[in-house]
Amino acid sequence: MEAFNREKVPCCQVMTSADMATDPHYRAREVHAEWDDPQVGPVRGTGATPQFSETPGRVWRGSVPVGNDNELIYRDLLGVDDGELAVLRERRVI
């Protein structure tokens, strides 16, 4: 880094995850987020990047078990009724 800086080449030291978690710049930009993962509990990690003022992204949940969103997809988005859902479960399709 000294040699690059001496020659006015922009550079910085490679940061570890621990460095990033405590870096004032990363903290000011709110790079890290915390959310509740239904399988492991509270998690802290990288949030939505980049962040836009009018459409900020967010982490709204962690990983979920396979099939967790079946009802949302089949009932709410595809219009499958309760009877059809029951049949799909019985046949082990979902």
Higher per-residue pLDDT: 60 or 21: 21
Closest CA to 66 of 26, 29, 39: 39
CA distances from 94 to 4, 17, 28, 53, 86 (A): 58, 39, 44, 39, 9
**Of 70 and 60, the one with more pLDDT:** 70
Which of the four pLDDT bands, split at 50, 70 and 90, describes residue 13?
Answer: confident
What's the pTM value of the predicted model, to 2 decimals?
A: 0.51
* Separation of alpha carbons 79 and 41, rounded Å: 32
Q: What are 65-86's pLDDT values in tens digits?
A: 888 899 899 999 999 999 999 9
Average pLDDT, the chain: 89
